[in-house]
Amino acid sequence: MFWIKTLHIVFVVAWYAGLFYLPRLFVYHASATDPNIIATFKVMERKLYYGIMMPSMLITVGFGLWLWIGWWTSVGIGMGWLHVKLALVAALVVLHIYLGKLLRDFRDDKNRHGHVFYRWLNEIPALPILVAVVYLVVAKPF
C-alpha cells in the first residue's frame, strides 16, 4: 500500500504543477499580440493539459480511489476529514475541467477574459485547496 500512496502523492504533485502553471500561461497568452507567440502558447497549453495534467489527474484519482477502497475495508467509513478532503478534490476536478474549457476558448480564439482574470485564477482557487487538503491528511482533525 505504501507504493500506491507514494505514486498517488507523486501524481498529485504533477497535477498541481499543471493547475498552477496553466493559468500562468493563460496570463501571458491573454496579453500576447504576436501571432507566432500566440501559436506557441496554444501548443504549450495543449501539451501541458493533455500530456501532463489530464494523465496526472486521472492517475491521482485512480490511486486515491484505490487507497480509499483499502482504507474503507480496513477501517470503515465515517471520518469527517476524509469527506471534506474528497469534496475539495471534487472541486479541483471541477477547476481542472474549467481550465480545459478555457484552453478550448484560447484554441478557438474565443477568449473573453483579460490577463487580470487569469492572474486571479492562477493564485486564488488552487492554493487554499492545497493547504486545506494537506492539513486534513496530516492532522485528521475530525
Q: How many CA atoms does the CB half-sphere of 85 hold within 13 Å?
A: 20
**What parts of the chain have a pLDDT lower than 50?**
none
Place of cell 496570463: 27
Query: What are the helix (H) ranges across 1-142?
Result: 2-31, 35-46, 54-75, 80-107, 115-123, 126-139
Q: Tell me which residue range forms the domain holding 16.
A: 2-139
For the chain, how many structural domains are there in total?
Answer: 1
Please tell me the predicted confidence (pLDDT) of residue 71: 67
SS3 of 113, please? coil
- Give the pLDDT score at 27: 97
The reported pTM is: 0.91
